[in-house]
Amino acid sequence: NAGVTQTPKFRILKIGQSMTLQCAQDMNHNYMYWYRQDPGMGLKLIYYSVGAGITDKGEVPNGYNVSRSTTEDFPLRLELAAPSQTSVYFCASSPLRGPQHFGDGTRLSIL
Amino acid sequence: GQQVMQIPQYQHVQEGEDFTTYCNSSTTLSNIQWYKQRPGGHPVFLIQLVKSGEVKKQKRLTFQFGEAKKNSSLHITATQTTDVGTYFCAGPDSNYQLIWGAGTKLIIKP
């Protein structure tokens, strides 16, 4: 099983550019999440979704947008990239009240 | 808001020594989950504890959930180089979203 697949694995952006981080899961989980992890730090929740068509803000949503048109996919959109958004981004999925399964992450640098 | 505190931030041990990380929540938790993140990797689920006073073992790892369901600990006996990484605890809030501790980084001294 592929589990949670994130693309791209690495990306360098210039300040002001936009991009979409892709996330797909094949476990039929209703819940999906986007986190960011700064160097040496813990996980901060950006957005989450409890099912197709439903999204909600986490702790640090500013500068990001998400959509959930299908159960499988949960893309994260960065508009007008800023240096403060340099981080590692993890997508995760879970069943209700179950453990979260993480993708390998996207390492994003904004210069 | 709800907080999950985890200590220590780092622990340096000699290979073969024991390691313990502690997790404290500001509110009573319905369950607590533990994850391990290897350097350069992603968090991987280890275990979930649900019952008050629950103790679970996975080989050299022992997980405990406090009687009041507000604290938890992870103890590793006789650490090995494969144990290196950061250990996170996490507990659900009222919307079932996980509130994460900051993690404890296990470092094996050369």
CA–CA separation, B39 and A94 (whole Å): 23
Residue-wise pLDDT for A25-45, tens only, equals 999 999 999 999 998 888 999
Nearest CA in chain B to A104: B42
Portion 20-59 of B in contact with A at CB < 8 A: 30-31, 33, 35, 41-45, 48
Residue-wise pLDDT for A40-89, tens only, equals 888 999 999 999 999 999 999 999 999 999 999 999 999 999 999 999 99
Nearest CA in chain B to A33: B97
Whether the CB of B101 is below 8 Å from some CB of chain A: the reply is yes
Confidence of residue A101 (pLDDT cuts 50, 70, 90): very high
Strand order in the sheet with B55-58: B4-7, B19-25, B71-76, B61-65, B55-58
Whether the CB of A47 is below 8 Å from some CB of chain B: the reply is no
Chain A residues in contact with B100 (beta carbon < 8 A): 42-43
- Cβ(B42)–Cβ(A93) under 8 Å? no
One-letter identity of residue B16? G
The answer to whether the CB atoms of A97 and B96 lie below 8 A apart is yes
Chain B residues in contact with A49 (beta carbon < 8 A): none
Whether the CB of B19 is below 8 Å from some CB of chain A: the reply is no
Nearest CA in chain A to B47: A99
CA–CA separation, A60 and A38 (whole Å): 12
pLDDT at A96: 85
Six token digits for residue A73: 């996919």
pLDDT at A97: 80
pLDDT at B32: 96
- Cβ(A33)–Cβ(A17) under 8 Å? no
The distance of B66 to chain A (nearest Cα, Å) reads 20
One-letter identity of residue B46? L
Kindly state the percentage of chain B with pLDDT values over 90. Answer: 90
Cis bond upstream, residue A39 (ω within 30)? no
pLDDT at B96: 80
Whether the CB of B93 is below 8 Å from some CB of chain A: the reply is no
Q: How far is CA B61 from the centre of its chain?
A: 10
Pair type for strands B10-14 and A106-110: unpaired
Whether the CB of B85 is below 8 Å from some CB of chain A: the reply is no
Six token digits for residue A68: 């959930």
